[in-house]
Amino acid sequence: MYRFISLILSSLLFGSSALDFKIGVITEAGNLNSSLIDVAFARRVNYNWRVLQGHTLSYVHVNVSSCSSHQAVRTVCSESGLSGLIGVGSCSLLDEVSSLSKSLQLPLIALPTGLCDSARLSKDMTIVGSHSSENIVAAAATVLTSDSIVSSVAVFFDGLQSTTVLQSLQSSLSSAGVSSLTFRVDDTVNASVTPDLVHHLKRLVKKKVFKLLLFASPRNALSVLRLAREAAVMQQNYFWLVLDTGLSKADVLSVTPANANVALLRGSVFTECTAAVMDVFPQCQTDWLRTLDARFVDAVEAMAKALNDSLLDPGFSPGNASCAPLRHWTSGSTVLNRLMSISDYDTQRGLISFNSLTRHFSSQRV
């Protein structure tokens, strides 16, 4: 009944003409499959009457190379009529896009591929569409310090991770009486990891450091795991904890021995192959599914729901923001408020809720 009434009100407010809401999807270095973007918009919104009733959701895809955040901003600025942004990428890219979203008053759902400083990112017009880095780090520290005899942990990270998050991790370990040995993984294009990393790994064998934490870009993380296997730091007496930065379980298993103790700490994924899951993940293989992919589909549906709900607000107008001349979207804050009011929204893959304390979306089962 509510959907029927809202559809009538929408028709009264905007006449018989259907609206097309355009979303800017910003990705970095191809970190999101373009076919998934197509499927998410088409099957979960435009073919799904319950999400966006009588209107459509289109997108413009801006994919930039690493360290090209300024290019992303320039390209987004060349578009007109945007009604929201979904950004998938590094902390630096999302920082730039977040600043643009504030200037244009466009709601942004950010999906970091690294561990970013939540306080820095989740503010103004930006909501983070995944679990907070602080919660992930706290969970990692709990796992690593659960053994009372552990005195030190080796930590491998790259430049795409927030130094604030690294310091928070070290503080948590220190408060539990555990020291941390940090190793910066090279994130340059020409070298996957630091040239002397194998040497450092072999020294860990002599130092009897048996617990190791890794958070780096997928390319660098997999390189570290390959070198760890080469340096014999994946025997059964070693425990590796890998934090999710866009990795699938199958990615990790592909570079580790069968008897290695390696765990991937990430958000939950679907447990049942429902029709809503098969819509976007037809193979329904949880080993290959990345949390990042599931969260992106959630973000698309959340944005569509917020836009649909905003149609009922007095004074709502379609997106008209522009960079030159600078003009912000007068209804952007309305859509943001609708995003922040989402609670237990059932996508038929799981429930999405906005956490007002962390300004993050949390998803159950997905």
User: What parts of the chain have a pLDDT lower than 70?
Assistant: 1-16, 67, 187-195, 363-366
Q: In what order do the strands lie in the sheet with 82-89?
A: 56-64, 20-28, 82-89, 108-112, 126-128, 360-364, 351-355, 345-346
Q: Both 144 and 249 in a single domain?
A: yes
Q: Which of 246, 265, 284 is the last residue of a domain?
A: 265
Q: Both 144 and 252 in a single domain?
A: yes
Of residues 366, 360, 365, the one with CA closest to residue 136: 360
Of residues 83, 84, 89, 74, the one with CA closest to residue 126: 84
Q: Both 69 and 192 in a single domain?
A: no
Q: Both 36 and 110 in a single domain?
A: yes
Q: Both 7 and 126 in a single domain?
A: yes
Q: Both 160 and 116 in a single domain?
A: no
Strand partners, 162: none
| Residue 101: predicted pLDDT | 96
Q: Both 187 and 258 in a single domain?
A: yes
Over its C-alpha atoms, the chain yields an Rg (Å, rounded) of 22
CATH number at residue 186: 3.40.50.2300
| Residue 194: predicted pLDDT | 62
| Residue 288: predicted pLDDT | 85
Q: Both 280 and 343 in a single domain?
A: yes
Q: Which of 208, 232, 265 is the last residue of a domain?
A: 265
Tens digit of each residue's pLDDT (9 = 90 or more) over 9-35? 444 445 447 899 999 999 998 889 999
| Residue 193: predicted pLDDT | 56
| Residue 115: predicted pLDDT | 92
Angle, vertex CA 214, rays to CA 209 and CA 217, nearest 5:
155
Q: Which of 265, 292, 321 is the last residue of a domain?
A: 265
Q: Both 190 and 255 in a single domain?
A: yes
Range of the domain at 62: 2-131+272-364
- The total number of structural domains in the chain stands at 2
Of residues 308, 296, 309, the one with CA closest to residue 349: 296
CB atoms within 10 A of CB 294: 24
- What percentage of the chain has pLDDT greater than the value 90? 53
